[in-house]
Amino acid sequence: MSTRSVIAREVDAARGKFKGRYHHWDGYPTGLGASLWDIYHDQFKGDLPAMLKVLLDDHPAGWSSICGKDMRLAPGFQEHRTMEDSENTPLCFCHGNRAEEPNQITEKNASDCGCEWAYVFAKDRPVMYVLSSYCEDGEKMIGAFGMGDPNATWKCVTEVDLEGEEPDWDKIEDF
């Protein structure tokens, strides 16, 4: 399911500000949230700066999907998969068959481009904030590519301690 989301670094926690990259597929907590947890623990062995460098700095156009992908493989987008292991390849929008321009996503434009969830990493500690977007009437914003609510605001659903126990992603998603 193409639930749009953003992977980001915290800019100003008190004001809910972040900067990051778009992620197109499976952006709900049981998808991207769980995948980010796994990538942090299994593939980056708890090295958050290295993980964020790959996810945010090395792939400035954003991601089609990293869910269930092996981040040790060279990312790239392939319209027609030809390699045997391409199913496990992380799909970015800046390498392979796609060569899109950098796309900075912030708390100001994320909802407008259809992002429903944001995974924001704290500046100074191994914490991931899970945010959800809400319309002015208080209802959860349901987005579609390029068709979100530009007036939606972000609310923190939970704070995930990356050094603690893995959270119940279903419970976070159903908050």
Q: What is the pLDDT of residues 23-52, one digit of tens each?
A: 999 999 999 999 999 999 999 999 999 999
- Unique residue bearing structure tokens 């493989």: 73
Q: What angle do CA 29, 141, 162 make, to 5 degrees?
A: 25
CA distance 66 to 35: 7
Distance CA 128, CA 120 (A): 5
**Each residue of 141-159: pLDDT tens digit?**
777 655 677 788 899 999 9
